[in-house]
Structures are given as structure tokens and as C-alpha cells.
């Protein structure tokens, strides 16, 4: 203005929180020339646009500076972080701006007549954008990263995906453009640079060789160019087991010993096959392969806790065995089998002699002569073949201690003793002073022979009364043992004087004496 009477214009600014910027096609207001000439009448309204372009201010800049200039007169506004000079139209920063805190400022402006304090034209708004700088470090999300994959998995198997974010402006330059790389874990693993997906890059990774890997992944902004920021994270990768190992016996021959008097069910021994796998992939099944009858003497079971093969005694035996043992594991992966040999030695236990029969029963006639052989007893000492056996019996019989033959030692009388229960003891004699013994009972029945005469059952003293016909019934006895009972025959002694007044007759085993007077 050339004269001091020209009306001054003032613009009032206000700040609106960052949002979508309205298009600025121009604003309507009173004609500036009419206002400058002091006219109070508005003959016509002309559109007057603010003379400005989009303004930018770098973030994190501590130095106050002019960031732009509005072309109109005498404006002035202060919005805490920005200030507008009302005379020059310059917009200055008052402090550092942080784009991550506020990305842009929307300003509303209006020209005011200083004299009348009336608006010259409607409000207009424009934006001041905070220009991004690379001042943020990329940060990994969802840490820590833990993953597992099966051993022997093919190359290219997805392990995990790491994700990082950057607070810088992804639309401005490369400040928030991230790229991933492996710092530790090669050549076993690789990472896709843009996605952060970790893949296997080594074939046949074996859990039995190495079970765990630590993969260090780095993320850098600025597409990895120099001057950018970076951070790292660690991914713990574990290999899970698959059944890729067969059980193996460590020896070709295992020897066990079992005492000969062991009871059925006794544990003979335990055997363990080694398997590099774990869990269900290391479960064992043991079996005895022999088809021989002797193999049924033992059975083998798997201990579910230790996976050992437990050899058990199934039946008593005194033989030494050599058995073939196999271990088998079946799965959908493959079939594994290994074989070994078991030698089971039956150990001798000092035991008493054993008779061949639990008892003996013989018969001998009572008239057998002294020295007659009744029978022979056999007993054996299972510990030492040549140990002699000595036996003791009663006085009626004697036994040969060397061959076990029992003979009559004195005359026998069935009527005195018809049964003899003889206990025969067999005692081992050994050099170590042990004298174990066992015994068996021998029942000897004395058979009857007719070696006794019949006699009257008692001393009869009959008497007779006058007129009596039957005088006496007499009976007889015999100590011998007839097969079907005794039957006696009675008769008068011929050489004796017989009174003709008496007669006798057989009355069904009884002697009947009758009075037959003449």
C-alpha cells in the first residue's frame, strides 16, 4: 500500500488435528481494491485465492526456520509449534516436530479488516506436512521366536516368519523399506529378504547329530543401504524326531545264569538295544526266534518304562540254552530289525537226592526166606553224579546202599504184621561237608500162606441132661486169610474110642454133637 490510510488485513489461523486435507481450489472474499479505496459498499464479490503452495517442514529439526510464506497482508497467528508473521506472511517453526507424533498440520486462515474487524473473505485452510527422516529403528514383533521342524525335512521347508515394523513413513523414500538377512544359521537356513520367512536350505538335517539351532535374523531399513538402522532377533529352531534309526544290539552274544531251582517267572536277565530315536519312535518289541521246543522254557517281554527286554523263566529246566533273540520295530516309515544270541547257563544248586517215584508199594509172601529180594529203590543226586547215597530202613528189611535193593532181613509173619511201612532215607555225601537228604516211604504187604492149623474157637465143656438130643455146637477158627472165607470139616478121630451114644455132624460150619442113646 502506498498510503498509510490503506486498510490492513489480518489472517487468523487455527490448527486442526491431522486428517484429510481439503482441496484448495480458491476462496471467496470481498474485492481487495474496493477495500483499499475505503469503499463500504460491496459492488461485486470476486474469488480471491491464497497465493501458496504445499508447505513442508523436516521433523526433528531443532533450529527455528521459515518454512513458507503466505502472500497477503498483515497476517499473524501462533499455534504453539508454528508462527505466522502478519506483515510478511512468513510461517516459522517454534520447536522440533515429530512426524511419528503428528504427520501434518491443517491450518485455517481468514483475512480480517483491522478497522471494522469484519472478515474480508471466507476462511481457507491448507496443510503443512512434517517431512519424514529416518529416525526410527525397525522393531521385531512377537518375540521370542520358537519353532520346530521334523528332522530330515526337504530343503525349502518353512520354519517360521519373523516380522518387523518401522515407525518411519513408508510412503516417503526408503526410510521404512525393510529387508531381512541371516547373520547366524547358514548354511542350514535362509530367509526371504522381503517377507522374513525362514526356510531350510540344508538337506538331511539329523536330530541325532544336532537337535537345536539358533538362527539370528537381521532387519535393516533403507533397503539395506548404508546409513540405515538395523536390529536383530533370534529364532530357536528344534528338530523333532522321526523314526529314521533302527535298534542295535551292542553285542553279538549275551550270557545269563539262572539257578536250577529258580521258580517260574524269575527274571533271568535284561537286555537293551540302543536306538537314536526318542519317544514312540524308540519303542521296542523283543521276541525269541528259536522254533526249538527248549525255547518255550523262556519268554521275553518289553519293559514299558525302560524299553529293555526282560527274559523270564517260563518253565523249570536243568539244561543250558543258546537262544536267538531279535528286536523289531515297525512303523509307517520303515521296518527295523536286529538280532543277537542269548546263552543262558543253568547253575547247579546243592540239592538233596531225588527218588524216582514219590512212593513204593510191594508185596512179599510171609514164608519168603531171609535174603529174598523185595524190590529196588533208585535215588539220584542231581548235583554230583558220583556221590554215593546211603539209606536206612527198619530191622525187618535191609537195603543195599549202593544199588537200593531191599531184601528180607528176618522171617515174616503175616498174622503178626501184614503191612510194613518202611521209610528209606537217601543222604548225599560230599567233600564240602554238606549232607542233604531226602526220604521216601515203601509200603510192603505180607501175603498170607496157609501156615496155621484150625482150632476150636474156645474151650468147650459141654454137659448133658437126661433126654437132651443136642448137646453142643462147636465152632473153629484159623489165623490164615482165606480168599473166600474159611470152611471147616469136622470128623471123629478114628483111632480114638468113640462112644456110640454120641454122634456128630457138620451144621454149616459148626460141629453139632448129638445124644443118640442106644
Q: Both 83 and 183 in a single domain?
A: no
Whether 422 contacts 389, CB under 8 Å: no
Tens-digit pLDDT profile for residues 316-367: 776 767 767 666 544 444 567 788 888 888 887 777 777 888 888 999 998 8
3 in a structural domain: no
Tens-digit pLDDT profile for residues 66-103: 666 555 433 334 445 777 666 666 777 778 888 888 88
How far from the centroid of its chain's Cα atoms is residue 285's Cα?
Answer: 14
475 in a structural domain: yes
Q: Both 268 and 341 in a single domain?
A: yes
268 secondary structure, DSSP code:
E
**What are residue 427's DSSP bridge partners?**
390, 437
Residue 485: is it exposed, middle or buried by C-beta count within 10 angstroms (0-12/13-18/19+)? exposed
Instruction: Find all residues with CB under 8 Å of 348, minimum gap 6, and list them.
Output: 260, 382, 383
**What are residue 323's DSSP bridge partners?**
342
30 in a structural domain: yes
Instruction: Find all residues with CB under 8 Å of 513, minimum gap 6, and list them.
Output: 462, 470, 471, 472, 473, 474, 502, 503, 504
Q: Both 102 and 22 in a single domain?
A: yes
pLDDT at 46: 41
Average pLDDT over residues 464-481: 72
Q: Both 235 and 276 in a single domain?
A: no
d(Cα 155, Cα 149) in Å, to the nearest integer? 12
Q: Both 335 and 378 in a single domain?
A: no
Residue at which a domain ends, from 240, 275, 292? 240
Report the run of H or E that residue 35 belongs to, with start and end: helix 32-36
Q: Both 125 and 13 in a single domain?
A: yes
Q: Which three cell numbers stand for residue 493?
A: 478121630
Tens-digit pLDDT profile for residues 161-190: 999 999 998 888 899 999 999 999 999 999
Which residue has 486462515 as its cell numbers?
A: 109
Q: Both 396 and 500 in a single domain?
A: no
Higher pLDDT: 328 or 112? It is 112
Q: What is the CATH number of the domain that holds 304?
A: 2.60.40.60
How far from the centroid of its chain's Cα atoms is residue 171's Cα?
Answer: 56
Q: Please, how many CA atoms are within 13 Å of residue 411, restricted to the half-sphere of its CB? A: 4
Tens-digit pLDDT profile for residues 128-160: 888 888 889 999 999 999 999 999 999 999 999
123 in a structural domain: yes
Whether 403 contacts 368, CB under 8 Å: no
Whether 131 contacts 56, CB under 8 Å: yes
Whether 345 contacts 366, CB under 8 Å: no
Higher pLDDT: 26 or 412? It is 412
pLDDT at 27: 33
> What is the pTM (predicted TM-score) of this model?
0.55
Which residue has 503178626 as its cell numbers?
A: 416
Query: Which residue blocks in 98-233 are alpha helix, DSSP H?
Result: none
Q: Name which of 65, 90, 66 is nearest 13 in CA terms.
A: 90
Q: Which of the four pLDDT bands, split at 50, 70 and 90, describes residue 515?
A: low
- Four-residue CA torsion sign, 166, 167, 169, 175: negative
pLDDT at 73: 37
How far from the centroid of its chain's Cα atoms is residue 177's Cα?
Answer: 50
SS3 state at 177 = coil
174 secondary structure, DSSP code:
T
d(Cα 26, Cα 47) in Å, to the nearest integer? 7
Residue 128: is it exposed, middle or buried by C-beta count within 10 angstroms (0-12/13-18/19+)? buried
Residue 125: is it exposed, middle or buried by C-beta count within 10 angstroms (0-12/13-18/19+)? middle
Q: Both 168 and 265 in a single domain?
A: no
d(Cα 73, Cα 87) in Å, to the nearest integer? 6
Residue at which a domain ends, from 413, 428, 447? 447
343 in a structural domain: yes
293 in a structural domain: yes
- At residue 13, does pLDDT exceed 50? no
1 in a structural domain: no
Mean pLDDT of the chain: 76
Q: What is the domain extent for residue 513? A: 453-517
- % of the chain with per-residue pLDDT over 70: 69
Tens-digit pLDDT profile for residues 364-387: 998 889 989 988 887 776 655 544
d(Cα 122, Cα 29) in Å, to the nearest integer? 6
Q: Name which of 363, 275, 347, 354 is nearest 313 in CA terms.
A: 347
Average pLDDT over residues 262-282: 88
How many distinct structural domains can be found in the chain?
Answer: 5
Q: Which three cell numbers stand for residue 390?
A: 546211603
307 in a structural domain: yes
Average pLDDT over residues 507-515: 62
Give the Cα-Cα-Cα angle 59, 64, 66 (nearest 5 degrees): 90
Whether 232 contacts 183, CB under 8 Å: yes
Q: Both 389 and 416 in a single domain?
A: yes
Min mean pLDDT across 46-50, 390-394, 397-401, 505-509 is at 46-50
d(Cα 353, Cα 434) in Å, to the nearest integer? 12
Q: Both 152 and 227 in a single domain?
A: yes
Residue at which a domain ends, from 418, 447, 476? 447
Q: Please, how many CA atoms are within 13 Å of residue 188, restricted to the half-sphere of its CB? A: 20
Q: Both 261 and 343 in a single domain?
A: yes
pLDDT at 269: 92
Tens-digit pLDDT profile for residues 403-431: 888 899 888 888 888 888 888 888 776 66
Q: Both 374 and 273 in a single domain?
A: no
Amino acid at each position: 500500500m502506498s498510503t498509510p490510510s490503506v486498510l490492513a488485513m489480518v489472517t487468523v489461523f487455527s490448527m486442526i488435528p491431522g486428517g484429510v486435507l481439503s482441496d484448495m481450489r480458491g476462496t471467496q472474499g470481498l474485492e481487495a481494491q474496493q477495500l483499499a479505496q475505503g469503499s463500504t459498499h460491496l459492488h461485486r464479490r470476486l474469488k480471491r485465492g491464497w497465493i501458496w503452495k504445499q508447505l513442508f517442514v523436516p521433523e526433528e529439526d531443532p533450529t527455528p526456520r521459515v518454512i513458507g510464506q503466505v502472500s497477503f497482508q498483515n497476517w499473524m497467528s501462533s499455534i504453539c509449534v508454528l508462527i505466522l508473521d502478519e506483515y510478511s506472511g512468513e510461517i516459522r517453526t517454534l520447536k522440533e516436530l515429530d512426524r511419528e507424533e503428528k504427520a501434518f498440520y491443517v491450518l485455517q486462515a481468514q483475512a480480517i479488516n483491522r478497522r471494522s474487524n469484519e472478515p474480508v473473505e471466507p476462511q481457507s485452510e491448507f496443510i503443512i506436512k512434517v517431512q519424514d527422516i529416518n529416525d526410527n529403528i525397525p522393531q521385531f514383533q512377537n518375540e521370542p521366536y520358537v519353532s520346530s521342524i521334523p528332522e530330515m525335512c526337504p530343503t525349502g521347508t518353512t520354519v517360521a516368519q519373523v516380522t518387523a515394523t518401522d515407525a518411519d513413513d513408508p510412503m516417503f523414500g526408503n526410510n521404512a523399506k525393510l529387508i531381512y538377512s541371516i547373520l547366524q544359521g547358514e548354511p542350514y537356513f535362509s530367509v526371504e529378504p522381503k517377507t522374513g520367512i525362514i526356510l531350510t536350505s540344508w538337506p538331511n538335517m539329523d536330530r541325532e547329530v544336532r537337535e537345536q539351532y539358533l538362527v539370528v535374523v537381521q532387519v535393516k531399513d533403507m533397503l539395506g543401504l548404508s546409513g540405515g538402522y538395523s536390529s536383530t532377533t533370534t529364532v530357536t529352531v528344534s528338530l523333532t524326531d522321526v523314526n529314521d534309526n533302527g535298534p542295535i544290539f551292542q553285542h553279538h552274544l549275551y550270557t545269563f545264569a539262572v539257578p536250577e531251582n529258580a521258580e517260574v517267572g524269575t527274571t533271568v536277565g535284561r537286555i537293551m538295544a540302543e536306538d537314536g530315536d526318542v519317544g514312540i519312535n524308540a519303542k521296542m518289541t523283543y521276541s525269541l526266534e528259536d522254533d526249538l521246543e527248549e525255547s518255550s522254557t523262556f519268554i521275553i517281554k518289553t519293559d514299558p518304562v525302560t524299553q529293555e527286554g526282560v527274559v523270564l523263566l517260563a518253565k523249570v529246566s536243568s539244561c543250558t540254552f543258546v537262544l536267538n533273540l531279535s528286536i523289531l520295530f515297525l512303523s509307517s516309515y520303515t521296518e527295523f530289525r536286529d538280532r543277537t544270541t542269548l546263552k543262558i547257563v543253568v547253575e547247579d544248586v546243592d540239592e538233596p537226592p531225588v527218588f524216582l517215584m514219590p512212593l513204593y508199594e510191594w508185596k512179599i509172601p510171609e514164608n519168603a526166606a531171609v535174603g529174598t529180594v523185595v524190590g529196588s529203590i533208585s535215588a539220584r543226586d542231581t548235583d554230583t553224579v558220583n556221590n554215593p547215597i546211603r539209606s536206612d530202613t527198619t530191622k525187618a528189611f535191609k537195603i543195599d546202599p549202593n544199588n537200593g535193593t531191599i531184601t528180607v532181613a528176618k522171617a515174616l509173619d503175616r498174622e503178626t504184621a501184614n503191612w510194613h511201612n518202611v521209610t528209606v532215607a537217601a543222604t548225599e555225601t560230599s567233600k564240602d561237608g554238606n549232607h542233604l537228604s531226602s526220604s521216601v516211604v515203601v509200603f510192603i504187604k505180607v501175603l498170607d500162606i496157609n501156615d496155621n492149623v484150625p482150632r476150636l474157637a474156645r474151650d468147650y465143656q459141654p454137659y448133658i441132661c437126661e433126654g437132651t438130643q443136642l448137646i453142643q455146637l462147636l465152632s473153629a477158627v484159623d489165623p490164615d486169610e482165606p480168599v473166600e472165607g474159611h470152611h471147616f470139616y469136622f470128623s471123629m478121630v478114628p483111632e480114638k474110642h468113640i462112644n456110640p451114644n454120641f454122634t456128630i455132624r457138620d451144621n454149616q460150619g459148626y460141629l453139632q454133637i448129638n445124644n443118640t442113646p442106644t
